[in-house]
């Protein structure tokens, strides 16, 4: 696996691909989804293959990601970075080739390709999509779960470069840690600090979204055997 991409470096830092790498809680919906390094890697590979083989994107191309914190969002980011594709979070990017967004926001985007992401536990199909909008599950599942990158563009997310993200590994964590975090991924700073940096350290990440009381957060931390909690 090439370490020249952000995703390659992230998976290279994982000490055991059979252990949980990302666990996602949404307290509003009751969802808990746990993905091992192998499973998250398979999803990232499918997305990278889809971007390269399905949409014809090459390293240095750009996609827009307009999604909340979710395990599928993490898979999209990892897939894009593995394909060498930069991710734009801002609305003012003019050269995005595709957009990943929720069903509720598909009408907000007019890139060549718009992909509706279900944001459910199993990546099931999205119903009643407008003409021209692709369903994430249907589009991605058909692609292979192994990926060999062809290189990387300059940027990883907005104007933050691949090199800058690769240098951002969280020095306060190590591969033995299990980080429970309620911190967001909505800005470029947050994506780097709260998603990429912990994963680059090799730590396992437990993401709690949807708002949670302190007592519930303590209970989740105990259940998940978290060694570090960040809110």
* pLDDT, tens only, 38-94: 999 999 999 999 999 999 999 999 999 999 999 999 999 999 999 999 999 987 777
Integer Cα distance of 138 and 61 in angstroms: 23
Confidence of residue 3 (pLDDT cuts 50, 70, 90): low
Statement: residue 17 has pLDDT above 70: yes
Statement: residue 158 has pLDDT above 60: yes
Statement: residue 140 has pLDDT above 60: yes
CATH number of 6-230: 3.40.50.12780
Question: What is the mean pLDDT of the segment spanning 33-42?
Answer: 98
Query: Could you please report the per-residue DSSP string of the chain?
Result: --SSSHHHHHHHH-S-TTSEEEEEEETTTTEEEEEEHHHHHHHHHHHHHIIIIIS---TT-EEEEE--S-HHHHHHHHHHHHTT-EEE-STT-S--SEEEEEGGGGGG--SSEEEEE--STT-PPPPSPPTTEEEHHHHHHTS-S--------SEEETTEEHHHHHTT--TT--TT-EEEE----SSHHHIIIIIIHHHHTT-EEEEEES---HHHHHHHHHHTT-SEEE-
pTM of the predicted protein model: 0.96
The residue ranges of every structural domain in the chain are 6-230
Q: What is the mean pLDDT of the chain?
A: 95
- The pLDDT tens digits of the residues spanning 78-134 come to 999 999 999 999 877 779 999 999 999 999 999 999 999 999 998 988 988 999 999
Percent of the chain predicted with pLDDT > 70: 98
Statement: residue 2 has pLDDT above 60: no
């Amino acid at each position: 696996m090439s370490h020249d991409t952000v995703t390659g470096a992230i998976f290279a830092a994982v000490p055991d691909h059979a252990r949980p790498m990302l666990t996602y809680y949404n307290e509003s919906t009751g969802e808990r989804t746990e993905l091992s390094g192998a499973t998250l890697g398979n999803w990232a590979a499918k997305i990278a293959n889809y971007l390269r083989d399905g949409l014809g994107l090459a390293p240095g191309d750009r996609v827009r990601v307009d999604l909340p914190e979710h395990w599928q969002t993490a898979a999209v980011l990892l897939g894009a970075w593995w394909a060498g594709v930069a991710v734009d979070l801002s609305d003012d990017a003019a050269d995005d080739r595709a957009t990943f967004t929720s069903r509720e926001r598909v009408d907000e985007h007019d890139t060549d390709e718009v992909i509706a992401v279900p944001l459910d536990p199993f990546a099931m199909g999205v119903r009643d999509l407008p003409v021209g909008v692709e369903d994430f599950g249907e589009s991605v599942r058909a692609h292979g779960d192994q990926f060999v990158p062809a290189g990387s563009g300059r940027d990883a997310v907005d104007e933050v470069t691949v090199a800058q993200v690769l240098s951002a590994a969280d020095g306060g964590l190590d591969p033995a840690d299990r980080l429970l975090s309620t911190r967001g991924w909505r800005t470029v700073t947050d994506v780097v600090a709260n998603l990429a940096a912990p994963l680059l350290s090799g730590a396992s990440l437990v993401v709690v979204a949807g708002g949670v009381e302190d007592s519930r957060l303590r209970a989740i931390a105990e259940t998940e055997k978290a060694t570090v909690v960040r809110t």
